[in-house]
Amino acid sequence: MPREIALLDALVPTLLIAFMISVMLSWAMDWLFAHLGLYQYIWYHSLFRLAVFICMFSVLGLMIY
């Protein structure tokens, strides 16, 4: 994967795109969890959300580098 990609002729780090994608993914997952009522099994919601986000972002980041 290239480390920078051209977005409308402006060079943007691919990591930024990965960041955006993981934000979207974690929102979707958040919605799903809230909808299925899975959050009642989790002690600290925001910490869990952050952890999931970091996992996703790291996986995507490792795929780039």
Please give the structure tokens belonging to residue 56. Answer: 């996703």
Nearer to other proteins, 6 or 10 (CB): 10
| Binding residue for other proteins, selected from 38, 45, 55, 59, defined by CB under 8 A | 45
Size of the site for other proteins (CB under 8 A): 8
Give CA–CA dist 60/21, Å, rounded.
9
Note whether 10 binds other proteins by CB under 8 A. yes
**CA–CA separation, 22 and 25 (whole Å):** 5
Using an 8 Å Cβ cutoff, are 39 and 33 in contact? yes
Element (H, E) at 36: helix 14-36
In the complex, the smallest distance separating the C-beta of residue 9 from other proteins, rounded to whole angstroms, is: 10
Is position 30 an interface residue for other proteins (rule: CB under 8 A)?
A: yes
Chain contacts with other proteins (rule: CB under 8 A): 10, 30, 34, 39, 45-47, 50
